[in-house]
Amino acid sequence: MNFSNLIKIAYTALLRNTTRALLTMLGIIIGIASVIAMVNMGQSSQAQIEENISSMGTNLIMVMRAHQRGGGVNLGNANSQSLKLADVEAIKAQAKYVDAVSPSVNASGQLVNGSKNWPGSMQGGSVEYLAIKKYEIAYGTNFTEQDIASYAKVCLIGKTIVDNLFEEGENPIGKEIRFGKIPMKVIGVLEEKGQNSMGQDQDDILIAPYSTVQKRILAQNHLNMIYASAKNEDVCQLATEEIEKILRTSHNLSPDATNDFEVRTQAEMLEMMSSVVGTITSLLTATAIISLIVGGIGIMNIMYVTVTERTKEIGLRMAIGAKAKDVLWQFLIESGMLSVVGGIIGIIVGIIASYVIAQVMMSPFVVSVGAVFMAFFVSAFIGIFFGWLPAKKAAKLDPITALRYE
Partner 1 sequence: MANSIIRINELKRNFIVGSETVRALRGVSFEIQAGEFVAIMGTSGSGKSTMLNILGCLDKPTSGEYYIDEIEVSKFSNDKLSEIRNKKIGFVFQSYNLLPRTAAIEQVELPLLYNPNVGAKERRERAEEALRLVGLEERMYHLPSQMSGGQQQRVAIARAIVNDPVIILADEATGNLDTRTSYEIMSLFQRLNESGKTIAFVTHEPDIAAFTSRVVMLRDGRVTKDEPVKTASAQAALDALPASDDY
Region 54-113 residues binding partner 1, contact defined as CB under 8 A: none
Nearer to partner 1, 245 or 323 (CB): 323
Query: Rounded to the nearest whole angstrom, what is the least distance from the CB of residue 384 to partner 1 in the complex?
Result: 22
Nearer to partner 1, 15 or 198 (CB): 15
Q: Which stretch binds partner 1 (CB under 8 A): 1-9, 24-32, 144-152, 299-307?
A: 1-9
Backbone angles phi, psi at 230, to 5 degrees: -70, 160
Nearer to partner 1, 14 or 207 (CB): 14
Count, residues near partner 1 per rule CB under 8 A: 25
Query: Rounded to the nearest whole angstrom, what is the least distance from the CB of residue 340 to partner 1 in the complex?
Result: 22
Nearer to partner 1, 193 or 317 (CB): 317
- Which residues make beta-bridge pairs with 70? 73
Nearer to partner 1, 178 or 392 (CB): 392
- Measured CA to CA in angstroms, residue 167 lies from 75, 115, 185, 191, 192 at distances of 43, 11, 17, 18, 18
Which helix (H) or strand (E) segment holds residue 231: the answer is none
DSSP designation for 257:
S
Region 5-24 residues binding partner 1, contact defined as CB under 8 A: 5, 8-9, 12, 16-17
Region 21-50 residues binding partner 1, contact defined as CB under 8 A: none
Binding mask 373-402 for partner 1 (x = CB under 8 A): --------------------------xx--
From CA 128, how far away is CA 122, in angstroms rounded?
16
**403 binds partner 1 per the rule CB under 8 A:** yes
Nearer to partner 1, 8 or 67 (CB): 8
Query: Rounded to the nearest whole angstrom, what is the least distance from the CB of residue 330 to partner 1 in the complex?
Result: 10
Query: Rounded to the nearest whole angstrom, what is the least distance from the CB of residue 4 to partner 1 in the complex?
Result: 9
Q: Smallest Cα–Cα separation from 66: which of 228, 260, 236?
A: 260
Nearer to partner 1, 1 or 75 (CB): 1
Other residues' Cβ atoms within 10 Å of the Cβ of residue 1:
12
From CA 147, how far away is CA 154, in angstroms rounded?
8
Query: Rounded to the nearest whole angstrom, what is the least distance from the CB of residue 26 to partner 1 in the complex?
Result: 21
Q: Smallest Cα–Cα separation from 42: which of 316, 337, 314, 358?
A: 358
Q: Smallest Cα–Cα separation from 207: which of 118, 150, 130, 146?
A: 130
From CA 113, how far away is CA 266, in angstroms rounded?
35
Measured on CA atoms in the order 92, 97, 99, 105, is the torsion positive or negative?
A: negative
From CA 203, how far away is CA 207, in angstroms rounded?
11
Cα 83 to its chain centre, rounded Å, is: 32
From CA 185, how far away is CA 174, in angstroms rounded?
6
Region 306-345 residues binding partner 1, contact defined as CB under 8 A: 312-313, 315-326
Binding mask 266-305 for partner 1 (x = CB under 8 A): ----------------------------------------
Q: Which stretch binds partner 1 (CB under 8 A): 3-11, 34-42, 62-70, 196-204?
A: 3-11
Nearer to partner 1, 285 or 330 (CB): 330
Q: Which stretch binds partner 1 (CB under 8 A): 4-12, 52-60, 90-98, 368-376?
A: 4-12
> b/e for 165-199, b at 16 or more Cβ within 10 A?
bbeeeeebeebebbbeebebebbbbbeebeeebee
Nearer to partner 1, 69 or 325 (CB): 325
Q: Interface with partner 1 by CB under 8 A: which residues?
A: 1-2, 5, 8-9, 12, 16-17, 312-313, 315-326, 399-400, 403
